[in-house]
Each structure stands twice: as structure tokens, then as C-alpha cells.
């Protein structure tokens, strides 16, 4: 298994440009998450999905959109990039929750700079 993969690793955008951050997992996990991590800070949840076709807002959803058409893919869309969206973005997944499978598996991250 490759686990959780994210592309691209790095990206520089101009203000107002749009882009899609890709996330794919090959573990057949139901749950997927997008976080952003600002310098020196913890992770803040942007959006999450409990299964294909179902998405929900997290703590900081403004300026982002997501879709979940398949179990494997959970892309994050920025429509009008702003400097405040400069951050490192992490995708994560986990299996359907049982008593002992409460863990999330993280991708390597996408470092985005908006100038």
C-alpha cells in the first residue's frame, strides 16, 4: 500500500488563481480529512468526508471546496487564492471507527505559497 499520497508537494500561486490539491488513499478508508498547518501551529480541520458522496465543513472551511466522488480520492479546491491561504496542507484518512481503530494516517503534505 502507498498509504495517503498528495500532489503537488509544493506550489506557488498568484492572488486570485485557482488550484486543486489532490489526495488519494489506497487503504479503502471511509473517512478522509483535509487540514492546514500554519507556521508554529497545530492542525486545523478544513473539510472532512465520512464516505463517498458525503462531505462536511470543519473548523476553517471558508475559501475552500471539496468533493468525494470515490472512496479513494478527496480533492481540495481553492477558487480564488489569497495570501491567508499560504500554509501546509495535509490530507488524512482512517477506517470506519471501531473501538481501537481511531487513528488517522497522514499524507506528506502540500506546501502552498500565495503571493
Partner 1 sequence: GQQLNQSPQSMFIQEGEDVSMNCTSSSIFNTWLWYKQDPGEGPVLLIALYKAGELTSNGRLTAQFGITRKDSFLNISASIPSDVGIYFCAGRDQGAQKLVFGQGTRLTINP
Which residues contact partner 1 (rule: CB under 8 A)?
Answer: 4, 31, 33, 35, 40-45, 48, 50, 56, 58-59, 90, 92, 99-100, 102-109
CA distance 91 to 35: 6
Query: Residues 6 or more apart from 40 whose CB is under 8 A from it?
Result: none
Residue number, 31 or 81, with CB nearest to partner 1: 31
Q: Cβ of residue 49: shortest distance to partner 1, in angstroms?
A: 9
Q: Cβ of residue 74: shortest distance to partner 1, in angstroms?
A: 14
Q: Cβ of residue 77: shortest distance to partner 1, in angstroms?
A: 20
Residues 64, 57, 44, 67: is their CA dihedral positive or negative?
Answer: negative
**Closest to 61 (Cα-Cα) out of 96, 85, 39, 91:** 85
Residue number, 18 or 101, with CB nearest to partner 1: 101
Residue number, 80 or 96, with CB nearest to partner 1: 96
Residue number, 32 or 114, with CB nearest to partner 1: 32
Beta bridge partners of 92: 33, 106
Length of the chain: 115
Amino acid at each position: 500500500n502507498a498509504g495517503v499520497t498528495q500532489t503537488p508537494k509544493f506550489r506557488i500561486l498568484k492572488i486570485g488563481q485557482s488550484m486543486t490539491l489532490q489526495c488519494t488513499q489506497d487503504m479503502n478508508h471511509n473517512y478522509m480529512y483535509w487540514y492546514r498547518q500554519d507556521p508554529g501551529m497545530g492542525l486545523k480541520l478544513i473539510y472532512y468526508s465520512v464516505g463517498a458522496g458525503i462531505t462536511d465543513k470543519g473548523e476553517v472551511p471558508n475559501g475552500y471546496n471539496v468533493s468525494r466522488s470515490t472512496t479513494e480520492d478527496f480533492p481540495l479546491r481553492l477558487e480564488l487564492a489569497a495570501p491567508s491561504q499560504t500554509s501546509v496542507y495535509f490530507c488524512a484518512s482512517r477506517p470506519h471507527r471501531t473501538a481501537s481503530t481511531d487513528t488517522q494516517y497522514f499524507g506528506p503534505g502540500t506546501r502552498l505559497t500565495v503571493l
